[in-house]
């Protein structure tokens, strides 16, 4: 039961972090001035045309949350527990990959 609650909290925390403006992009404009943008990891993935990672994160988080809710409502199947664990681990791995990819991506402006 504790793992199910923790899984739901972690999934929510991942989406909060993915929507926070934690990156600053700077680019030189044709007029000579420097423009600055504050972007979230999701915005940077969209700019880098890697939005499939967002969808993968949503799928793993949805599987994790749905199976966690099933466990909280009393379904005691070992298959549900295994799927919940795989969903939580998959969501964590994809979250780490997203953070690595977005920290290393540099947007270009033409």
pLDDT in tens, 78-99: 999 999 999 999 999 999 999 9
pLDDT above 50 (res 110) = no
pTM passes above 0.85: yes
Buried b (16+ CB within 10 A) or exposed e, 50-70: eeebbebbeebbebbbebbeb
* Contact (Cβ atoms closer than 8 angstroms) between residue 56 and residue 94: yes
**Three-state secondary-structure class, residue 23:** strand
């Amino acid at each position: 039961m504790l793992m199910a609650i923790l899984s739901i909290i972690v999934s929510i925390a991942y989406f909060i972090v993915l929507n926070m403006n934690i990156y600053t992009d700077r680019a030189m404009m044709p007029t000579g001035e420097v423009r600055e943008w504050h972007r979230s990891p999701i915005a940077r993935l969209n700019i880098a045309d890697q939005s499939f990672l967002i969808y993968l994160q949503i799928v793993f988080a949805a599987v994790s949350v749905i199976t966690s809710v099933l466990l909280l409502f009393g379904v005691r199947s070992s298959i549900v527990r295994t799927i919940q664990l795989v969903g939580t681990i998959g969501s964590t791995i994809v979250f780490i990959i997203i953070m690595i990819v977005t920290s290393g991506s540099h947007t270009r402006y033409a």
